[in-house]
Structure 1
Amino acid sequence: MTRVEHKGPLRERQGVNKSPRPFHHLSSFHLPSSVDQWPNFPPKAEWRSREEGLGFERMIKGSLQRPHTPKMHVVAVLVTPAASVLELAIPAEVFGRFADRSAQGQEKSRPRYVVRMCAMQPGLIPVSHGVSIRVPHGLDELSSADTVFIVSGNHDYPPEPPPALVKALEQAHSRGARVVAVRSGVCILAATGLLDGRRVASNADLADNLRQHHPAVHVMPSILYTADENIVTCAGGTAVLDLCLDIVRRDHGVTVTHGAARQLLAPPHRSGDQAQAVDLPLPERTGGMSELLDWIRARLDQPLALSDLAEAANVSPRTLARRFHSALGMTPIQWITNQRIRLAQHLLETTEDPISEIARTAGLGGPGNLRQQLVRTTGLSPRDYRRRFGRSGHGIDLASEVERRRSPARPPYGVAEPGS
């Protein structure tokens, strides 16, 4: 085969100044790690031959299709003296499962968490119930963490945090880290001023002291947890498990969360606005509330009015609304809407069904309402949500990105297309 010397842009990019070389000599050619670093591909007219040009293109696409391993999400758990063993163990267990790549058998390209225990001074830290934990990291670990958990004592109001800790928390927040305060850890975070004007969840035993020390904080002693941008507060106890699963859901979608919840034998989602204490016990499964909830889930694609639910439960609408709010902390319509959104999220993550079909199956009517509800709860349109959390998500299909760059008529990423 006759070789034609190439004098176009491709030759200049490769830095070839001598005689032309066949493409198999490019085996050590450095491939950029980001799509944005790729130059425009040469037009076909500049290929030395059709066979070698196609071979070069296959080489590039093959490299781009290699699995992309995202950066590990670092969860730093700040251990303080007398901290609750339970509240320390839950984030370590939930996020540690992802570090072990054991959550629902997810593929290795999925983003993962890594947990790092830290303290003011590394070493043996006495926590609750006579237990001591050897903590390997100091406060410097907070400077690189993506999520910071502050876990403090059970019921006593903690002393003023040292200036070094306040500074480390302020710096973590200012660079965009998610800061999570649990139980009396809320009091420590309040000392930084980051909770002023915010609605925060608090354990009932600490609420009065928290209001007295920090009157600018809106203390909510009746709810499980709150999330205000990248500031998260939690009342503590088993609500920490609900909070951790909610964080996984926000980061990786409902399907991954359900897999982790199944391994933990935990419900996949309990709303942060749910009451800390329920006045009436949940009814038994046979003939009670759980049976009604299953009945509703099986009919999410159908119109459901309060009267329909009351008839199915064989109670009055008023009684049903009271029981619903007592048990779940919300109205029946709010709960149904949440279930429909979660079903739509699951379908977007696991199927290639059209968005209009998913909206119908989830009982949300049309694409417009689905988009409105999803943007309200996740900040993403259905198309962006599928791109981020779907089976082909967690990274752009780079081979498709190559084709997109060669077709300038297509809209760039970040520009919404009709129906998205």
Structure 2
Amino acid sequence: MPVVALLVADGVPGHQLTAPATVLDAAAAGPGPAAYELRICAIAPAVTTAGPVPLGITATHGLDGLADAATVVVAGQDGVPGDPPPEVAAAVRAAAARGAGIAAVGTGAFTLAATGLLDGRRATTEWCHIPELARRHPRVTVDPGGTPVTDGPFLTASGVLGGLDLFLRLVEYDHGPSAAARTARQLIAPVYAHAGATRAEIDREIAGTAGLEPTLRWLAENLHRPLPLDSIAAHARMSVRSLNRRFHEQTGFTPLQYLLRARVERARELLADGEGTVEEIAARTGFGSAAGFRRHFRRLTGTAPAAVRGTGRPAQDRHA
């Protein structure tokens, strides 16, 4: 049974403790169960969660709980954490050195980046902290896309709903897409089974409380389409002025700057996989012409599309 070690500290958001248990419990249920052992690990036995109602919890393991874990997940903290204690950084590095998968939820990416393990790699964090992660760790390529980012054995995610997206991705890596899809249905279907709600309707309902997450996901799914500013604002259910302000607050970019970077990143992935000609990839990622695509790609990546072709994306098997 794979061991998942969740590394926590004072100020951990409570939902980052409940989300992994919820996802992994759902994964273990039903046909073709995908069972896990979940360990809560911390330096001190007692940890206090973030507000508004701080709760005291008891960690099941110390740092020794990371020693044989298949995956180590670094939880976030309230606000941006400082550098981790030396013994925490050493334990995470040791887990990575022996081949464990290493993940970070939300601001846990700051802790992971402070170990140096993300240098030269892509990573993400909560949208409102993306500019700060890039400033504090310039050797990390910070991805503002809003979806989990995998680079080699490292997986980072924004921490949506306590990291549900990250733990579903973990189930997918370990047990395959069908197990992840079954787990997701088990978690989500009971909520909407009788509501008759479409994905777009759900997005509209939660847009007011989930920040830009639904719109960021919608953009990622529609990069091939023309996406003028007024259409993005309409999806987000806000004025263009408010959209510009919210995007800058949460991503550090204007909506169109963000969209351009998302298109270039998707094109980079397709090029690395060798999926089509430059002209085809330009069309699939919403660029009006191959010439414009080449110009933007070189400006944002510092290299030409041809230099990336066939280089291969980072391995998806984190335990290889």
**Deviations 1:53-77, CA, capped at 9 Å, x for gaps:** xxxxxxxxxxxxxxxxxxx100011
Question: Offset of 1:277 from its aligned partner?
Answer: 3.4
Structure 1 moving runs of 4+ over 4 Å: 278-282, 317-320, 326-331, 375-380
What residue is the counterpart of 1:185 in the other structure? 108
Question: Offset of 1:122 from its aligned partner?
Answer: 1.6
- Partner Cα separation in structure 1 for residue 216 and residue 41 of structure 2: 40
Residue 158 (structure 1) aligned to one of 69, 72, 81: 81
Provide closer, same or farther for how the CA distance between residues 259 and 164 of structure 1 changes in structure 2, counting only shifts above 3 A. same
Question: Offset of 1:159 from its aligned partner?
Answer: 2.0
Letter in 2 for 1:186: A
Residue 213 (structure 2) aligned to one of 266, 277, 280: 277
Provide closer, same or farther for how the CA distance between residues 376 and 220 of structure 1 changes in structure 2, counting only shifts above 3 A. closer
Provide closer, same or farther for how the CA distance between residues 280 and 167 of structure 1 changes in structure 2, counting only shifts above 3 A. closer
Question: Offset of 1:247 from its aligned partner?
Answer: 1.5
**Deviations 1:273-295, CA, capped at 9 Å, x for gaps:** xx95355997xxxxxxx9xx9xx
Letter in 2 for 1:80: A
Question: Offset of 1:216 from its aligned partner?
Answer: 1.0
Letter in 2 for 1:168: A
What residue is the counterpart of 2:180 in the other structure? 257
**Deviations 1:255-281, CA, capped at 9 Å, x for gaps:** 2222211210169xx9xxxx9535599
Question: Offset of 1:214 from its aligned partner?
Answer: 1.6
Residue 92 (structure 1) aligned to one of 16, 21, 37: 21
What residue is the counterpart of 2:250 in the other structure? none
Which runs of structure 2 are paired with 1:400-415 in the superposition (5 Å)? none
The answer to whether the 8 A contact 2:13-2:50 is kept is: yes
The answer to whether the 8 A contact 1:202-1:222 is kept is: no
Letter in 1 for 2:100: A
Residue 143 (structure 2) aligned to one of 188, 201, 220: 220
The root-mean-square deviation of aligned C-alpha atoms, in Å, is 3.8
Residue 122 (structure 1) aligned to one of 45, 56, 59: 45
- Normalising by structure 1, we get a TM-score of 0.46
Question: Offset of 1:318 from its aligned partner?
Answer: 4.3
- Normalising by structure 2, we get a TM-score of 0.59
- Partner Cα separation in structure 2 for residue 280 and residue 94 of structure 1: 23
- Partner Cα separation in structure 2 for residue 162 and residue 379 of structure 1: 30
- Partner Cα separation in structure 1 for residue 104 and residue 316 of structure 2: 23
Which runs of structure 2 are paired with 1:15-414 in the superposition (5 Å)? 72-98=1-27, 101-102=28-29, 104-106=30-32, 112-130=35-53, 131-154=55-78, 156-238=79-161, 240-265=163-188, 277-279=213-215, 318=226
- Partner Cα separation in structure 2 for residue 171 and residue 240 of structure 1: 24
- Partner Cα separation in structure 1 for residue 35 and residue 23 of structure 2: 11
Aligned length: 223
Letter in 2 for 1:137: H
- Partner Cα separation in structure 1 for residue 96 and residue 314 of structure 2: 23
- Partner Cα separation in structure 2 for residue 239 and residue 78 of structure 1: 14
The answer to whether the 8 A contact 1:118-1:135 is kept is: yes
- Partner Cα separation in structure 1 for residue 316 and residue 75 of structure 2: 29
**Deviations 1:91-134, CA, capped at 9 Å, x for gaps:** 12111334xx41x232xxx5521111111112343444322222
Provide closer, same or farther for how the CA distance between residues 228 and 376 of structure 1 changes in structure 2, counting only shifts above 3 A. closer
**Which structure would you say has the larger RCO, counting Cα contacts within 8 Å and 6 or more residues apart?**
2
Q: Which one has a bigger Cα radius of gyration?
A: 1
**Deviations 1:298-341, CA, capped at 9 Å, x for gaps:** xxxxxxxx9xxxxxxxxxx7479x979x799779x99xx9xxxx
The answer to whether the 8 A contact 2:149-2:157 is kept is: yes
The answer to whether the 8 A contact 2:7-2:41 is kept is: yes
Provide closer, same or farther for how the CA distance between residues 200 and 120 of structure 1 changes in structure 2, counting only shifts above 3 A. same
What residue is the counterpart of 1:342 in the other structure? none
Letter in 2 for 1:174: A
The answer to whether the 8 A contact 1:96-1:115 is kept is: no
**Which blocks of at least 5 consecutive residues in structure 1 are unaligned?**
1-71, 283-289, 294-305, 307-316, 338-374, 381-420
Provide closer, same or farther for how the CA distance between residues 256 and 164 of structure 1 changes in structure 2, counting only shifts above 3 A. same
- Partner Cα separation in structure 2 for residue 254 and residue 137 of structure 1: 31
